Amino acid sequence: MELAPNPLGSVVLRRGAQAGARAPRAELPVLGRVHVVPVEAIAPSPVTASRVVYRALEIMAALIGLVVGMPVMLITAIVVRLDSPGPILFRHKRPARSVRLRGRDLEGRTDLAPPPCGYRPDAWYWAPSYFTLVKFRTMYVDARTRFPSYYDYKYSRDDFHAQFPTIRVDPRVTRAGRLLRKLSIDELPNLWSVVKGDMSLVGPRPEAPEVLQYYTTEEMAKFTLRPGITGLAQVCGRGLLNWGETLGLDLEYVRTRSVALDLKIMCLTVLRVLTGHGAF
């Protein structure tokens, strides 16, 4: 299997690597329903003084970004309005950080796939939760009706990891939207989500809720952290990565997360935005 070093020292599969080379998993997802994760499998990160300080600095940085970026956002709003009919902002439900709930509180949830032996009433589980992602609109307002096939999200269990979440030539994207995506300007409103606590500056990118049905219990560990504006997958390939490669990097970030790693990712994000690597 061909491997390529990522800029932070770990390894990721090249785009041409075969999806079938993944390590086998004992459990397959129940399609249409989302897995919960036992808390004992992934203990919550301890709240340390450094984490509290980091969160305060993160909020401050997001507020500064909103103030400094206000002129750019005002210009962007005008461009979006003039380029195509529809709202300036796009709002969409996305998975947030999972919440801890007892097994007794999850009984009867038809949207969730319980563990093979059922819920233990007094045990704690990570269960999915959602928030409203806000960004500048980059697609035609009627994209869902004009291009319904792009919203099917119907894959086999074996094919999901080999799919690419980002489409290189996407007919749903407007003229202005192509430029906004290339420069990552459409993500600027995400800074407000950081202030609110729905997102972090660094973390796994918010996923489309329709694909959670394909995640295994192991992969749902991705959502034990807040989603981020940028992340390890964004600096290691972004739109060039398929879902399997992106998930692998997201899970690596969950396992190795640190303030030092976040700072490296932020610095590399600036470089990736300036060069447009993986953005289309």
Domain boundaries, the chain: 30-149+163-275
Model confidence at 17: pLDDT above 80? no
Report the sign of the C-alpha dihedral through residues 40, 251, 19, 212, in that order: positive
Neighbours of 162 (CB within 10 A): 17
pLDDT for the residue numbered 263: 93
Q: Does pTM surpass 0.85?
A: no
Whether residue 16 contacts residue 2, with contact meaning beta carbons closer than 8 Å, is answered with yes
Model confidence at 97: pLDDT above 80? yes
Whether residue 201 contacts residue 61, with contact meaning beta carbons closer than 8 Å, is answered with yes
What are the structure tokens assigned to 17, written together?
């690597």
pLDDT for the residue numbered 6: 53
Task: Look up residue 254 and give its amino acid.
Answer: V
What are the structure tokens assigned to 237, written together?
């390939």
Whether residue 126 contacts residue 223, with contact meaning beta carbons closer than 8 Å, is answered with yes
**Higher per-residue confidence, 182 vs 136:** 136
Model confidence at 27: pLDDT above 60? no
**Confidence bin at 4 (pLDDT 50/70/90):** very low
In eight-state DSSP terms, residue 207 is P
Task: Note the pLDDT tens digit of each residue in 165-206.
Answer: 888 889 999 999 999 999 999 999 999 999 999 999 999 999
CA dist., res. 209 & res. 238, Å (int)? 19
pLDDT for the residue numbered 107: 94
**Confidence bin at 14 (pLDDT 50/70/90):** very low
